Structure 1
């Protein structure tokens, strides 16, 4: 009986709380997206942010995706201090991924608040744990993700926009606090999912646009890193 209670309190309860909080954040998506200003320079064939915000069922769809992702994170981490920034980051990341899917843009108006959420969360974690090693790993995660995406953008600016580079720093910081395995696996799966899933969508002509949105695959890769970073890295290195 005690084992069941401990499992509920330390695993399933944080999953439930995280999921519900992320659902609440996701339901604000129409209001949040409607506040995003349009780019200063016109973008060909771009769907307006207001039109995205007005899409039927948007709040429920983003809310449910955020609920599932945050619940999985809560189930994996339990009552970890990192939930302070991961829970609000989940619905914000889902919104960014959705916008990128529709427009091939990651608006700064949402990316900068995402940085703020993670940085405040890192400070809370540092005050709570007094572990400078976590902060150092967060910095390494930022350098690895931002550096890799930055180099890719510099070499092939037609393949990747700078918005992807800007957003990569958020995910690098968030994953770095958790561990280097999360950083490396998240980065690896971001590109793997883009190549496999994105390529399949192009072949099936489900994406008939000027390019592939990277934001959704970055978000999915980061989630893979959080959930299975350590075992997947061990499996990859053992090959």
Structure 2
């Protein structure tokens, strides 16, 4: 058994097992305190929804416990996590980066599920995951002498978060602050892999977001779809996966 096959199997099994815990993680997220729709996106503890200039109180969101109790959520999350882990293992081999990529995979699945149903990316999940990833990346970078990769990862984290912060600042009605927070770990892991991976990962997130919307718009011929709020977190996570798995090849084709 070569190293790549071993990495695929280990990453798939561990990520899949983590995926089975997604319902439990979702159920443990505390419910946000209701706030006016017109308040700033970054003001609440779980800001992640698009902003609004309205003044009425938000309609009730789907409870995290109800999301966690959806039939089949555990095995579906396990399958998605296992497949994602296998792709990451095939792309990296037995690399130190699996130390943070494998645990982050089911967390990304959980955040995608939450964001899809609530348009929220809870800070109580994103921030600890980000801090844990920073610690792991820093420890590996210093222990293995990969200081260039470490510096690139930290710089990429700042750049990615700053980029999404600008998008949020310019038009907070179209992007929640939760997406800004999520950009930090996304930038960190993509930056460790390389600048090309970072660029492809961020670019892919927007492509994956826009293309399905345009297809539905053309099929239904309903322009009102452009005004509907669509969660961006799942597409950001999917874009990060694209960048990590195929970023090197795509960047080589595009930039040579």
TM-score (norm 1): 0.90
Match of 1:32 in 2: 25
| SS across alignment from 2:71 | coil
**Does 2:37 align with 1:44?**
no
Find the aligned partners of 1:201 and 1:220 in 2 and give their Cα distance: 19
Structure 2 residue runs of 5 or longer lacking an equivalent are: 36-57
Match of 1:159 in 2: 174
Please say which of residues 196-205 and 29-38 is displaced more in the overlay: 196-205
Query: What is the correspondence of 1:60-99 to structure 2 with a 5 Å cutoff?
Result: 60-99=75-114
Find the aligned partners of 2:115 and 2:64 in 1 and give their Cα distance: 11
Find the aligned partners of 1:151 and 1:203 in 2 and give their Cα distance: 30
User: Is the CA contact 1:146–1:166 (under 8 Å) kept in the aligned structure 2?
Assistant: yes
Tell me by how many angstroms 1:128 deviates: 3.2
User: Is the CA contact 2:22–2:109 (under 8 Å) kept in the aligned structure 1?
Assistant: no
Find the aligned partners of 2:242 and 2:235 in 1 and give their Cα distance: 10
Match of 2:121 in 1: 106
Match of 1:176 in 2: 191
RMSD: 1.8
1:135-184 deviations in Å (ceiling 9; x for gaps):
11112211221111111111111110000001111100111111111111
Match of 1:198 in 2: 213
Match of 2:133 in 1: 118
User: Is the CA contact 1:89–1:117 (under 8 Å) kept in the aligned structure 2?
Assistant: no
**Does 2:202 align with 1:187?**
yes
Q: Higher relative CO (CA 8 A, sep ≥ 6), structure 1 or 2?
A: 2
**Does 2:154 align with 1:139?**
yes
| SS across alignment from 2:2 | helix
Find the aligned partners of 1:197 and 1:61 in 2 and give their Cα distance: 22
Tell me by how many angstroms 1:17 deviates: 0.5
Superposition misfits of 4+ residues, deviation over 6 angstroms: none
User: Higher helix proportion, which one?
Assistant: 1
1:53-97 deviations in Å (ceiling 9; x for gaps):
010001111111000001100011001001100000000001101
Structure 1 residue runs of 5 or longer lacking an equivalent are: 1-7
Match of 1:4 in 2: none
Aligned length: 230
TM-score (norm 2): 0.85
Find the aligned partners of 2:184 and 2:96 in 1 and give their Cα distance: 20
